[in-house]
Chain A
């Protein structure tokens, strides 16, 4: 998961996050392992969820659901290292599932896009570019968006993405091609980027 963000551990260090406490029905070891997992990986999950939903609150809801399902399945997970894969699978299925209708948000004005520093010198240009990309992502179908996030944000192979989404590799290829084409249309600046990206894969 090379795209995962560096977790802002200072939040924990300064006590902004509550200290995990024991819960009924879980022994201390499992409780501690789950707490460690949430502490270490929830922000990475949140970043993917944000790309899937386009909204802070919807992303939190999505990750909360994925974590809750993971918590319930914790005893069945053979190794704690499987937890993140399980949580991501729940998350993607919840967002793409037919039963759970896709939930995405329209961009709200100034809703946190400039809270974090960008990589470019001109913050205004970076903010505009983020908004444009965000709107373009929201214009994709849930499955297309999931494929883009899995392939180009989380760096999964087509086979891994197919396995995570529970679809065939050819479906991933098709959805990916359509999504990239749509992104190229909606974000002209991405044309060259996506071309380069595709050429490299």
Chain B
């Protein structure tokens, strides 16, 4: 390595690895999307201003009596937490979610403060299927068998992957193509030709008929027909995830905040008060419970730099923004919901890795040592 300008030569050499692509249409598409969002923001701001003027709220004393919390607390929080003007569309267009669930939620089950007794300590009693990803050079996907072995179900090179909620199929992105393959084996089939993956791993709908993917912009792909329906422009975000019942989408904004939207809503609403998470909750929601009330997220600071790589380490209430305290010993290194709202948590303590399975009411169904064959892999899915 000699020469008059060696560092620059090395950088040039490295830059040669990038493949030329046509970005004209993509940039126009994105430009139009930004324009729609800006228009929505302008309209929303105008509506808010008109609303305030019309209601006379603008002349109320700032330190007035506490307002009726049930009716205004959530929107006020949402307004306060909106990190940027770009999210203002959600203010103008209220969320398509039941208002009754927006207040504090003493009715919701929460874990006991101390570690409960597990109903089973045998890994063989685990009713669902657990999937792990080897993010080393091999980049393979494995399934934990009841015998405690790691059964490889995908060895094809891929950048992102999604396992269907019944564990029968895998969607993965390779070289910009979306492929689907059975976990039982067989030849993969191309489901969509042009797919970006960095900000949207393929997410299966609960019935397995659709995939939420990023094809220039996020959209819902009908797997059988190949028809792609773009998400409404008001749903501005990435890393979309379906709730187990299909009623709700949870996703991250560009500013790494969480938003929630009804599956048919035109815009989302920010998860309120994420201050307990030391700022925006997450750059990537990992999995959502049955109804969209709870989501597993990454809180460790290092996750922000590599959101597509980090596993979830906490559960967040999307209604209140609270972090749910899990009665798990050791450090949490993975947490995923299945479609029914069962929560599988992976923890490590003193070099031993354990799996904890909680029912939707946080009854501890199982706590078991994880086989050492899975050391170094990342927990990515728990399915039926």
Query: What residues make up the interface of A, taking CB atoms closer than 8 Å to B?
Result: 3, 5, 7-8, 11, 16-18, 20, 23, 35, 38-39, 42-43, 46-51, 55-61, 63-65, 67-72, 99-106, 108-110, 112-113, 115-119, 126, 129-130, 133-134, 137, 148-149, 152-153, 155, 189-190, 192-194, 196-197, 200
Provided the pairs A50-B15, A50-B18, A116-B16 are in contact, do residues A18 and B8 lie with their beta carbons within 8 angstroms? Answer: no
- Would you mind naming 12 contact pairs between A and B with Cβ atoms under 8 Å apart? A18-B25, A23-B28, A43-B20, A51-B15, A64-B30, A68-B34, A72-B31, A99-B84, A100-B254, A102-B304, A133-B11, A148-B11
Q: Which of B4, B16, B18, B304 has the most CB of A within 10 A?
A: B18
Is the Cβ of B256 less than 8 Å from the Cβ of A101? yes
Enumerate the 10 nearest inter-chain pairs by beta-carbon distance, A residue then B residue, closest first: A67-B27, A68-B30, A47-B15, A50-B18, A193-B6, A68-B31, A17-B22, A71-B31, A153-B11, A116-B16
Partner of B24 from A38, A61, A126 at Cβ < 8 Å:
A38
Nearest to B254 among chain A residues (CB) is A100
Q: Given the complex of chains A and B, what is the CA–CA distance between A61 and B283 in angstroms?
A: 16
B292 at the interface (CB under 8 A from A): no
Partner of B1 from A5, A65, A71, A189 at Cβ < 8 Å:
A189
Is the Cβ of B305 less than 8 Å from the Cβ of A102? yes
Query: What residues make up the interface of B, taking CB atoms closer than 8 Å to A?
Result: 1, 4-31, 33-35, 83-84, 135, 137-139, 157, 159, 176, 196-199, 254-256, 283, 304-309
Contacts of A57 in B (CB 8 A): 159, 176, 196-198
Contacts of A43 in B (CB 8 A): 18, 20
Is the Cβ of B22 less than 8 Å from the Cβ of A197? no
Provided the pairs A68-B30, A99-B84, A119-B13 are in contact, do residues A59 and B18 lie with their beta carbons within 8 angstroms? Answer: yes
B154 to chain A, nearest CB (A): 14
Partner of A197 from B5, B196, B307 at Cβ < 8 Å:
B5
Is the Cβ of B157 less than 8 Å from the Cβ of A104? no
Partner of A196 from B6, B17, B254 at Cβ < 8 Å:
B6
Is the Cβ of A63 less than 8 Å from the Cβ of B23? yes
B296 to chain A, nearest CB (A): 19
Is the Cβ of B306 less than 8 Å from the Cβ of A106? yes
A79 to chain B, nearest CB (A): 20
Is the Cβ of A152 less than 8 Å from the Cβ of B7? yes
A53 to chain B, nearest CB (A): 9
Known A59-B18, A101-B305, A133-B11; 10 more pairs at CB < 8 Å: A3-B11, A46-B20, A63-B27, A67-B30, A68-B28, A99-B254, A108-B139, A112-B18, A152-B7, A200-B4
Nearest to A112 among chain B residues (CB) is B17
Is the Cβ of B256 less than 8 Å from the Cβ of A109? no
Is the Cβ of A130 less than 8 Å from the Cβ of B13? yes
Is the Cβ of B15 less than 8 Å from the Cβ of A58? no
Provided the pairs A3-B11, A63-B23, A68-B31 are in contact, do residues A115 and B17 lie with their beta carbons within 8 angstroms? Answer: yes
Q: Given the complex of chains A and B, what is the CA–CA distance between A23 and B28 in angstroms?
A: 8
Is the Cβ of A109 less than 8 Å from the Cβ of B137? yes
Provided the pairs A113-B17, A193-B10 are in contact, do residues A61 and B196 lie with their beta carbons within 8 angstroms? Answer: yes
Partner of B26 from A64, A109, A148, A193 at Cβ < 8 Å:
A64
Q: Which of A119, A148, A200 has the most CB of B within 10 A?
A: A119
Q: Given the complex of chains A and B, what is the CA–CA distance between A50 and B15 in angstroms?
A: 6
B217 to chain A, nearest CB (A): 10
A152 to chain B, nearest CB (A): 5
Provided the pairs A72-B35, A108-B159 are in contact, do residues A18 and B20 lie with their beta carbons within 8 angstroms? Answer: no
B280 to chain A, nearest CB (A): 9
Contacts of B27 in A (CB 8 A): 38, 63-64, 67-68, 70-71
Provided the pairs A71-B27, A193-B1, A194-B7 are in contact, do residues A109 and B19 lie with their beta carbons within 8 angstroms? Answer: no
Contacts of B20 in A (CB 8 A): 7-8, 11, 43, 46
A133 to chain B, nearest CB (A): 6
Is the Cβ of B14 less than 8 Å from the Cβ of A134? yes
Contacts of A56 in B (CB 8 A): 18-19
Q: Given the complex of chains A and B, what is the CA–CA distance between A155 and B4 in angstroms?
A: 14
Q: Given the complex of chains A and B, what is the CA–CA distance between A74 and B329 in angstroms?
A: 56
Contacts of A190 in B (CB 8 A): 7, 10
